[in-house]
């Protein structure tokens, strides 16, 4: 007996991070019966880990800030590959979404005159990040959950049941979307705690499952990021774009293994920390690219002078953009000059008095002491690049977050287009609010509309029964592969062959290895029963990671240029022709991927006029450039 529990909703939201919660609130506010499903505990999502803040052109810290400036920064950060309509909606609506959060009870840090305080961040022209100390994500989740409880209390008063129109299913993982005649009909999954199966009949599903970091060996992401939403969308017939763009943060912890990849904030370098190799050399001086040479110091004494007298000194090369630093560290390690645990040394202990380090970097001090038994006031840290964020995701309509499968919507990190080839810090939290809300509204409207599928009871039962049988296969004893072994092989493949620096032949090798892993993953064994069996959970998530890895690798091999989060050793330059191309990935029934080229939407002339012609000429082809004294000059 597979014992499948069945539920019926108007809108099912998969994921309870910022995007999922905001979507669920919007759908419920439209009066729709809404379910929110999360495979982690309610309240644990990547959103909760976000520190720096949420970007929104409120103009509180600098009145010159306005949405067009935020738009321009976002397009620059994404190297002109962003979906311009998404970047516009995001910049226009982020302030309203932040104020709404405040209205719902979020306690942001304040300016002296009592408005929401805003901090500086990389790539943002003005101080723009609304924040709550270094715990902004926690406050965002707390506020959205509080809003959900308020709506449930309203339903308790009106209908006698707090869950009448909004119910949370925590520790429940969705493994399959149900479609009927090409439309969404529901979702199937299991409860992690007892292994019981659940199926949701629903005309509209919002994917808000976050990212894919666990496909890589070293990542700042936690266990939930197995690319489930990306894979579910592909298998339901939707497409992904920009999958070749993966953001690597230069400094994550490398030791001990249990904490490898955990972020080490950029502030360590901003406050004077320097990078050294095993020979004690400050190697970043060897990696200043020509385009930056005039802005960065050539000697250690010049670099050191910058901290106290920036007007008369050039910046230390440790503060080059993140992708440059990540590539340099990667190269030092590859050439045998790494630290004992495969990173490099980041040293602040010889640069600042212990007291000062404890005052400026309290959480880093605590993190290294607790997790690695390293006292950063007395010894160097070992750090290396870590997979942090995926720019690629479900191709959606900018206004509605609709995928090209009727009834399927996607918002947050699982959606693609908004960030182009590289996301600016702070632009994710605001993205979640803007597009989470839009997805919830559009899903609610669809659930009401004439386009929704007829009730697909039979299709739902059929898929549920098949999915349950498939899931139970893994529990059978004997013979099959160990999911943990395959996962480790997958992570090594992606880290070593499709990581920060990519080369054609290595990616071709990765594709062959992924094919073999794909075959082997069909005969996994996770002996035991259905009650909290982590091996079984991994066996169910592994095919998703393999599919997403295939999408990343195929797109990365195809794109013969370097841009943002995609660096090709064999094609180091950025190409204006490639800027016009989005690579779209689809999958067949056997999880094999195919690629198609789609034109990137044009930036409307009025918004193109925000940029100088000289800057545009670095990105656009000659024919795309506005005239010398053109209409928008
Ligand atoms: P998440 O918040 O990760 O939520 C995903 C949800 O989906 C979870 O509830 C998960 O359980 C659920 N889920 C996944 N798969 C399934 C499934 N199969 N079935 C059911 N549920 C599923 N961004 C910023 O803008 N500013 C910052 O300061 C910042 N700092 C960061 C610091 C760290 C350490 C990290 C890792 C990221 C940071 N980011 C920051 C990025 C940002 O936090 C994330 O991109 C964002 O929170 C993603 O939100 P989301 O709603 O898309 O997904």
Q: Give the model confidence (pLDDT) of 574-588 as tens digits.
A: 999 999 999 999 999
Contact 585, 239 (CB under 8 A): yes
Bridge pairing between strands 567-568 and 501-502: parallel
Half-sphere exposure of 589 (CA within 13 A, CB side): 0
State the average pLDDT over residues 475-498. Answer: 92
Residue 110 phi, psi (nearest 5): -115, 150
57 neighbors 91 (Cβ within 8 angstroms): yes
Is 269 known to be catalytic?
Answer: yes
Per-residue pLDDT, 631:
45
Res 126 pLDDT > 80? yes
For residue 440, give the H/E element and its range. Answer: helix 427-448
Interval 427-462: pLDDT, tens: 999 999 999 999 999 999 999 887 665 667 788 888
State how far the Cα of 181 lies from the Cα of 489, in Å rounded to an integer.
Answer: 37
Return the closest-CA partner of residue 339 out of 213, 254, 407, 399: 254
Please identify which residue in the block is written with the tokens 């190269």. Answer: 331
pLDDT 10s digits, 181-190: 899 999 999 9
| 480 vs 2: CA distance, rounded Å | 22
Active-site option among 147, 230, 269, 559: 269
Which residue from 18, 147, 68, 13 is spatially nearest to 433, judged by alpha carbons? 18
User: Which amino acid residue places its CA nearest to atom 12 of ligand 1?
Assistant: 15
627, 605 contact by CB (below 8 A)? no
Identify the CA nearest to 120 among candidates 266, 248, 245, 263.
266
Q: Which of 97, 110, 102 is nearest to 146 (CA)?
A: 102
d(CA 386, CA 315): 24
Q: Quick one: pLDDT at residue 630?
A: 46
What is the residue with the minimal CA distance to atom 6 of ligand 1?
15
Distance of CA 84 to the CA centre of its chain: 19
Contact present, 404 and 382 (Cβ < 8 Å): no
DSSP assignment, residue 343? S
The answer, yes or no, to whether any atom of ligand 1 lies below 6 A from the CB of 74, is no
- Determine the average pLDDT of the residues in 93-114: 96
**C-alpha to C-alpha distance for 256 and 439, rounded to whole angstroms:** 40
Supply angle C-alpha 499, 502, 506, rounded to 5. 100
Greater pLDDT, 545 or 269? 545
User: What distance, in Å, lies between the first and last C-alpha atoms of the chain?
Assistant: 70
Cβ of 139 less than 6 Å from ligand 1: no
Cα three-residue angle 363-112-65, rounded to 5 degrees: 85
In 3D space, the residue among 502, 623, 609, 611 whose CA is nearest the CA of residue 563 turns out to be: 502
Looking at the chain, the whole-number percentage of residues with pLDDT higher than 90 is: 78
pLDDT of 17:
98
Catalytic residue among 249, 419, 437, 530: 249
CB-CB contact of 434 with 440 (8 Å): no
In the structure encoding, which two tokens stand for residue 457, read together? 């009871």
Return d(Cα 414, Cα 228) in angstroms, integer: 9
Under 8 Å CB-to-CB from 598, ≥6 apart: which residues? 241, 581, 582, 583, 584
* Structural tokens at position 381: 């840290």
Which of 14, 15, 51 best tests ligand 1's pocket when mutated (most atoms within 8 Å of CB)? 15
CB of 123 closer than 6 A to ligand 1? no
Q: How far is C-alpha 66 from the chain's CA centre?
A: 25
Tell me the per-residue pLDDT of 511-558, one tens digit each, with 9 for 90 and over.
Answer: 999 999 999 998 899 988 899 999 999 999 999 999 999 999 999 999
Note the pLDDT tens digit of each residue in 315-369: 889 988 777 788 899 999 989 999 999 999 999 999 999 998 888 788 889 999 9
| Nearest residue by C-alpha to atom 21 in ligand 1 | 38
Tens digits of per-residue pLDDT, 62-79? 999 999 999 999 999 899
Nearest ligand 1 atom, CA 213 = 36
327 φ/ψ angles, rounded to the nearest 5 degrees: -65, -40
Question: How far is the CA of 301 from the CAs of 143, 295, 529, in angstroms?
Answer: 48, 15, 63
Torsion region of 144: left, alpha or beta (phi above 0 gives left; psi -120 to 50 gives alpha): alpha
CA-nearest residue for atom 46, ligand 1, is 47
Distance (Å, rounded) from C-alpha 533 to C-alpha 601? 46
Ligand 1 atom 2, closest CA: 17
Query: Is 249 a residue of the active site?
Result: yes
pLDDT for the residue 633: 37
For residue 1, what pLDDT is reported? Answer: 52
Ligand 1 atom with the shortest distance to the CA of 225: 14
């Amino acid at each position: 007996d597979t014992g499948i529990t069945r539920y019926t909703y108007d809108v099912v939201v998969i994921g309870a991070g910022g995007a999922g919660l905001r979507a669920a609130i919007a759908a419920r506010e439209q009066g729709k019966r809404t379910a929110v499903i999360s495979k982690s505990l309610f309240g644990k999502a990547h959103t909760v880990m976000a520190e720096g803040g949420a970007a929104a052109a409120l103009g509180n810290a600098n009145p010159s800030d306005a949405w067009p400036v935020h738009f321009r920064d976002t397009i620059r950060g994404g190297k002109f590959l962003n979906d311009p309509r998404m970047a516009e909606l995001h910049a226009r609506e982020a302030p309203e979404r932040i104020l709404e959060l405040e209205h719902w009870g979020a306690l942001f840090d304040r300016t002296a005159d009592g408005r929401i305080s805003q901090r500086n961040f990389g790539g943002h022209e003005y101080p723009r990040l609304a924040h709550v100390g270094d715990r902004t994500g926690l406050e965002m989740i707390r506020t959205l959950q509080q809003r959900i409880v308020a709506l449930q209390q309203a339903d308790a008063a009106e209908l006698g049941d707090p869950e009448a129109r909004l119910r949370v299913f925590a520790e429940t993982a969705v493994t399959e979307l149900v479609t009927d005649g090409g439309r969404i009909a529901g979702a199937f999954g299991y409860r992690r705690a007892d292994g019981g199966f659940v199926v949701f009949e629903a005309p509209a599903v919002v994917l808000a499952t976050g990212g894919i970091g666990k496909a890589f060996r070293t990542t700042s992401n936690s266990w939930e990021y197995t690319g489930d939403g990306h894979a579910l969308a592909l298998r339901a017939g939707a497409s992904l774009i920009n999958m070749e763009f993966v953001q690597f943060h230069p400094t994550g912890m490398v030791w001990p293994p249990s904490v490898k990849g955990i972020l080490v904030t950029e502030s360590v370098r901003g406050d004077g920390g320097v990078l050294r190799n095993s020979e004690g050399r400050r190697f970043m001086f060897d990696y200043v690219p020509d385009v930056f040479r005039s802005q960065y110091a050539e000697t250690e004494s010049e670099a050191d002078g910058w901290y106290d007298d920036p007007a008369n000194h050039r910046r230390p090369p440790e503060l080059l953009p993140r992708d440059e630093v990540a590539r340099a560290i990667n190269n030092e390690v590859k050439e045998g000059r790494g630290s004992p645990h495969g990173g490099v040394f980041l040293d602040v202990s010889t640069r600042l008095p212990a007291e000062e380090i404890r005052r400026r970097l309290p959480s880093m001090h605590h993190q290294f002491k607790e997790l690695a038994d390293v006292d950063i006031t007395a010894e160097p840290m070992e750090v290396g690049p870590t997979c942090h964020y995926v720019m690629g995701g479900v191709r959606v309509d900018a206004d509605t977050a609709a995928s090209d499968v009727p009834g399927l919507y996607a918002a947050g990190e699982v959606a693609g287009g908004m960030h182009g080839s590289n996301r600016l810090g702070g632009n994710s939290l605001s993205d979640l609010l803007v597009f989470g809300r839009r997805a919830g509204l559009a899903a609610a409207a669809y659930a009401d509309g004439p386009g929704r599928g007829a009730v697909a009871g039979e299709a739902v039962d059929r898929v549920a029964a098949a999915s349950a049988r498939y899931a139970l296969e893994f529990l059978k004893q004997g013979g099959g592969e160990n999911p943990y072994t395959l996962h480790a092989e997958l992570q090594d493949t992606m880290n070593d062959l499709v990581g920060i620096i990519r080369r054609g032949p290595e990616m071709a090798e990765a594709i062959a290895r992924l094919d073999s892993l794909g075959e082997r993953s069909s005969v996994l064994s996770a002996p035991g029963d259905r009650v909290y069996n982590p091996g079984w959970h991994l066996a169910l998530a592994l095919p998703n990671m393999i599919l997403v890895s295939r999408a990343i690798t195929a797109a990365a091999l195809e794109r013969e240029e370097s841009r943002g989060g995609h660096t090709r050793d064999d094609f180091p330059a950025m190409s204006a022709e490639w800027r016009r191309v989005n690579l779209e990935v689809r999958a067949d029934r056997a999880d094999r991927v195919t690629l198609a080229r789609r034109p990137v939407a044009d930036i409307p002339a009025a918004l193109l006029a925000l940029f100088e012609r000289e800057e545009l000429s670095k990105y656009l082809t000659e024919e795309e450039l506005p005239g010398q004294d053109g209409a928008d000059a």
